[in-house]
């Protein structure tokens, strides 16, 4: 699949508020065409080539700033939400649990169901942010490779070395939060028990529903893009400690049904 088509697909499968935060790949390709079609230097005045090249570099650097700003904002929000989870669970136990201040099986189940739904969506959003880093880095690497191929320039290596140091490229913290989120789910919300009637007890969500569908699509994209090359180089995507599909499927079963 060509990258432009893949990027469009990923944007469509992302969260609505995220869709203008992805790489402006079409605009960069248009500027690259201007660079390659512009005449050579003209004496006495800036060349069309120079102007097109400057616009291309300006947009490239603006895209990096856009990625960093969005990524760090989301990362900060995720850290806060992650810290709040154990407190919310403990509060539910202390208030409505069997030994709580206001024991109530119904209220306890309702509150835990709300927390469970939030955790499932939270996990999905973090996976989508990992994919956001993945797809935008790949787009940058591809567009500067096209630039060097068509212009004979040597932009690719220094530019990618710069990108590797950017906040949006570093997903170690998000990957750690994803794993911790999965541990919380496995310890607090065990997998539903099989009822013997063809469904799981407590099974509520149909395959492909809500953010689950987007999360699975993001995981498949990240794995596929890392399988795309058998060789490692400066431009390769870093290895990721991706979530286990078994855990993702457990999350799906734990996800409350969406009421129209």
Q: Has this prediction a pTM greater than 0.95?
A: no
pLDDT of residue 55: 94
Q: Record the tokens describing residue 57, joined without a space.
A: 């570099």
Q: Which residue has the higher pLDDT, 208 or 147?
A: 147
Q: What percent of the chain has pLDDT over 90?
A: 50
Q: Record the tokens describing residue 220, joined without a space.
A: 């498949």
Judge whether residue 210 has pLDDT over 50. Answer: yes
pLDDT of residue 219: 67
CB neighbour burial string for 75-104, b if at least 16 within 10 angstroms, e if fewer: beebeebbeebeebbeebbeebbeeeeeee
User: For the chain, what is the total number of helices (H) and then of strands (E)?
Assistant: 8, 0
What distance in Å separates the CA atoms of residue 245 and residue 10, rounded to the nearest whole number?
19
Judge whether residue 193 has pLDDT over 50. Answer: no
Judge whether residue 99 has pLDDT over 50. Answer: yes
What distance in Å separates the CA atoms of residue 93 and residue 105, rounded to the nearest whole number?
10
Judge whether residue 135 has pLDDT over 50. Answer: yes
What distance in Å separates the CA atoms of residue 232 and residue 226, rounded to the nearest whole number?
10
**Stretch among 39-43, 85-89, 101-105, 113-117 having the lowest mean pLDDT:** 39-43
* Residue 190 confidence class, pLDDT cut points 50, 70, 90: low
Rg of the Cα trace of the chain? 23
Q: Record the tokens describing residue 62, joined without a space.
A: 């603006």
Average pLDDT, the chain: 80
**Stretch among 50-59, 100-109, 185-194, 250-259 having the lowest mean pLDDT:** 250-259
**Stretch among 137-146, 190-199, 209-218 having the lowest mean pLDDT:** 190-199
**Stretch among 17-26, 30-39, 141-150 having the lowest mean pLDDT:** 30-39
Instruction: Kindly tell me the sign of the dihedral angle through the C-alpha atoms of 102, 105, 110, 113.
Output: positive
What distance in Å separates the CA atoms of residue 207 and residue 201, rounded to the nearest whole number?
16
Judge whether residue 238 has pLDDT over 60. Answer: no
| Most confident of the ranges 33-42, 138-147, 199-208, 245-254 | 138-147
pLDDT of residue 206: 37
Judge whether residue 18 has pLDDT over 90. Answer: yes
What distance in Å separates the CA atoms of residue 29 and residue 139, rounded to the nearest whole number?
11
What distance in Å separates the CA atoms of residue 219 and residue 228, rounded to the nearest whole number?
14
Judge whether residue 257 has pLDDT over 90. Answer: no
Q: Average pLDDT for residues 66-81, to the nearest whole number?
A: 97
pLDDT of residue 234: 57
Q: Record the tokens describing residue 33, joined without a space.
A: 């065409």
Q: Record the tokens describing residue 77, joined without a space.
A: 């929000």
Q: Average pLDDT for residues 1-19, to the nearest whole number?
A: 89
Cβ burial of 60 (10 Å; 0-12, 13-18, 19+) is buried
């Amino acid at each position: 699949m060509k990258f432009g088509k893949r990027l469009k697909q990923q944007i469509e499968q992302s969260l609505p508020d995220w869709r203008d935060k992805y790489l402006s790949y079409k605009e960069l390709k248009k500027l690259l065409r201007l660079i390659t079609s512009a005449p050579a230097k003209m004496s006495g005045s800036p060349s069309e080539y120079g102007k097109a090249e400057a616009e291309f570099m300006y947009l490239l650097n603006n895209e990096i700033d856009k990625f960093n700003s969005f990524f760090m904002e989301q990362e900060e929000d995720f850290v806060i939400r992650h810290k709040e989870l154990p407190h919310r669970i403990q509060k539910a136990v202390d208030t409505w649990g069997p030994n709580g201040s206001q024991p109530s099986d119904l209220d306890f189940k309702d509150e835990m169901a709300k927390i469970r739904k939030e955790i499932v969506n939270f996990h999905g959003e973090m996976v989508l942010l990992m994919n956001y880093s993945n797809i935008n880095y790949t787009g940058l690497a591809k567009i500067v490779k096209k630039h060097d191929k068509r212009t004979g320039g040597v932009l690719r290596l220094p530019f990618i070395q710069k990108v590797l140091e950017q906040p949006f490229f570093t997903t170690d913290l998000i990957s750690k939060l994803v794993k911790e989120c999965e541990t919380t789910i496995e310890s607090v919300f065990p997998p539903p028990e099989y009822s013997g009637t063809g469904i799981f007890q407590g099974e509520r969500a149909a395959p492909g529903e809500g953010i689950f569908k987007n999360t699975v699509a993001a995981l498949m994209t990240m794995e596929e893009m890392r399988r795309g090359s058998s060789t490692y180089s400066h431009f390769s995507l870093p290895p990721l400690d991706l979530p286990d599909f078994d855990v993702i499927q457990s999350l799906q079963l734990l996800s409350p049904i969406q009421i129209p």
